[in-house]
Amino acid sequence: MRPILILLFGLILLGGCKKEGRPVITPYGVSITDGSVIEGNGGNVVIEFEVKTDATVFGTDKVTVWLTTVEGSAKSGTDFVARNNVEVSFAAGEQSKKFQVEIVEDTVQEPNETFSVVVNSVSANAKIVDGTATGTIQNDD
Ligand SMILES: [Ca+2]
Ligand SMILES: [Ca+2]
């Protein structure tokens, strides 16, 4: 019986040491920041959103975020290209990722238009801190 107890005690100690080495206490907080772009009249215009974790991803951790575009005054198909449940992952050492949405350029005079990017879900080791970003398409016609 005694060796088993010693083994258990050792494992608990080992576990404690491992935890002390962690600079981060999960869950990681995930947020997404607003984006804006001048519409353009052709070519390949994209609007960029920054997806961030509140701490650099540590060790063997991997943080995964799923993002979807939501129409506002800007409509999918005519103003931007919809993205649905797109996976963005953070590996060790990462804290910031770009999420791009393609813009549909035109030469039509119209007001500035907006749509949203929302965080649908995150991996079990993360939580949503700010899960909605506004994307603004600035008219240039
Ligand atoms: Ca334009
Ligand atoms: Ca326009």
How do residues 98-135 score in pLDDT, each as one tens digit? Answer: 999 999 999 999 999 999 999 999 999 999 999 999 99
Q: How far is the CA of 61 from the centre of ligand 2 (A)?
A: 43
**Host domain of residue 94:** 25-138
User: 16: Cβ–Cβ under 8 A, 6 or more apart, which residues?
Assistant: none
Task: Let me know if residue 8 belongs to a domain.
Answer: no
102, 115 Cβ separation under 8 angstroms: no
Has residue 4 got a pLDDT over 80?
no
Closest CA to 118 of 73, 88, 79: 88
Ligand nearest to the CA of 105: 1
- Quick one: pLDDT at residue 17? 45
Has residue 9 got a pLDDT over 80?
no
Has residue 23 got a pLDDT over 70?
no
Give the model confidence (pLDDT) of 26-65 as tens digits. Answer: 899 999 999 999 999 998 999 999 999 999 999 999 999 9
**Burial of 39 by CB count in 10 Å (0-12 exposed, 13-18 middle, 19+ buried)?**
buried
User: 67: Cβ–Cβ under 8 A, 6 or more apart, which residues?
Assistant: 32, 51, 83, 85, 86, 88, 99, 117, 118, 119, 120
CATH number at residue 107: 2.60.40.2030
Task: Let me know if residue 133 belongs to a domain.
Answer: yes
Whole-angstrom Cα distance, residue 84 to residue 124? 20
Ligand nearest to the CA of 38: 1
Report the domain count for the chain.
1
Has residue 21 got a pLDDT over 50?
yes
8-16: average pLDDT: 53
> Order of strands, edge to edge, in the sheet holding 96-102?
96-102, 46-53, 28-33, 126-130
- Quick one: pLDDT at residue 46? 98
Q: How far is the CA of 38 from the centre of ligand 2 (A)?
A: 9
- Quick one: pLDDT at residue 19? 47
Q: How far is the CA of 96 from the centre of ligand 1 (A)?
A: 30
Task: Let me know if residue 15 belongs to a domain.
Answer: no
Has residue 137 got a pLDDT over 80?
yes
Q: How far is the CA of 107 from the centre of ligand 1 (A)?
A: 4
